[in-house]
């Protein structure tokens, strides 16, 4: 899987060299590149924004640098999922993360300012082999798309075969098919600051343990708004 994030702050993606995703890159399971949008400007000031047509506060990102940057990133031999992060987008969830594991190439368009000129998404919707997705990671406002792209990249890459050390752990995860969340976990010491591990977990009775965990997961699912 080829992953690319286009942004005026490509250094935001340095953490991807760490941990899981860093190892996935070393193991050749994914390739990741952060592309600087300003490399696709041609004026001395590397201008990427301008005032909004129709007036209003703030600045809008110009379409030309995005067109050149995405064209340069598109690998014509492969289909591509172009993800445009926006607070107005479709809400990201675990099912979408699972669907994106089948992509050969994903480009994350990480805007800033008031957002990206809407014609960029419109143009690539008309391009064969490019699937455009306008996505939000949640009902709160961020200053740009970078951290949202980081969230999506981790949620997608960790599902790829060979990335997680013990893929079994994927089976019991929160927000799985049934939308259930996980049961609470405990480890040694059996007593900590006067707090005990639930007796049933020390019982060795796997039937009882499984029932307790199911009940706890259901109880927590109720409380998750």
CB 16, min distance to ligand JD8, A: 17
- Could you give the string, one character per residue 94-133, with x where binding to ligand JD8 holds by CB under 6 A and - elsewhere? -----------------xx-xx------------------
From candidates 141, 161, 166, 188, binder to ligand JD8 by CB under 6 A = 141
CB 106, min distance to ligand JD8, A: 14
* 143 lies in the binding site for ligand JD8 (CB under 6 A): yes
What is d(CA 158, CA 22) in angstroms, rounded to the nearest whole number? 11
* 7 lies in the binding site for ligand JD8 (CB under 6 A): no
Task: Say if CB 97 and CB 153 are below 8 A apart.
Answer: no
- Could you give the string, one character per residue 28-67, with x where binding to ligand JD8 holds by CB under 6 A and - elsewhere? ----------------------------------------
From candidates 52, 63, 67, 144, binder to ligand JD8 by CB under 6 A = 144
């Amino acid at each position: 899987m080829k992953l690319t994030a286009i942004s005026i702050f490509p250094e935001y993606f340095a953490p991807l060299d760490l941990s899981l995703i860093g190892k996935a890159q070393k193991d050749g399971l994914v390739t990741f590149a952060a592309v600087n949008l300003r490399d696709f400007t041609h004026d001395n000031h590397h201008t990427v924004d301008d005032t909004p047509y129709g007036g209003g506060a703030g600045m809008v990102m110009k379409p030309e640098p995005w067109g050149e940057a995405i064209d340069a990133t598109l690998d014509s031999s492969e289909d591509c999922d172009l993800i445009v992060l926006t607070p107005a987008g479709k809400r990201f969830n675990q099912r979408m993360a699972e669907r994106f594991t089948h992509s050969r190439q994903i480009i994350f368009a990480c805007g800033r300012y008031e957002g990206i000129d809407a014609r960029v998404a419109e143009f690539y919707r008309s391009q064969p082999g490019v699937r455009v997705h306008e996505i939000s990671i949640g009902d709160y406002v961020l200053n740009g798309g970078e951290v949202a792209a980081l969230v999506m990249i981790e949620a997608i890459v960790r599902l790829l075969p060979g990335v997680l050390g013990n893929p079994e752990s994927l089976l019991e995860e929160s927000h799985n098919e049934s939308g259930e969340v996980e049961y609470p976990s405990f480890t040694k010491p059996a007593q900590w600051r006067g707090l005990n591990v639930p007796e049933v977990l020390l019982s060795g009775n796997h039937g009882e343990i499984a029932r307790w965990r199911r009940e706890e997961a259901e109880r927590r699912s109720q409380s998750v708004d």
